Amino acid sequence: MHSVIETRRFDQPDDRLDMKDAGGISIIKMRDGTTGMHATFEPGWTWEKDEKPLLGSPASCPARHTGYCIAGQLVVRMVDTNEEIRISSGDFFEIPPGHDGFVEGPERVEMILFAPPEHSH
* pLDDT per residue as tens digits for the range 1-33: 678 999 999 999 999 999 999 999 999 999 999
CB 49 within 8 A of CB 83: no
Ranges of the chain with pLDDT below 50: 120-121
The per-residue pLDDT for 65 is: 94
The per-residue pLDDT for 119 is: 62
CB atoms within 10 A of CB 17: 16
Evaluate whether the domain defined by 18-115 bears CATH number 1.10.10.10. no
Domain boundaries, the chain: 18-115
SS3 of 121, please? coil
pTM: 0.89
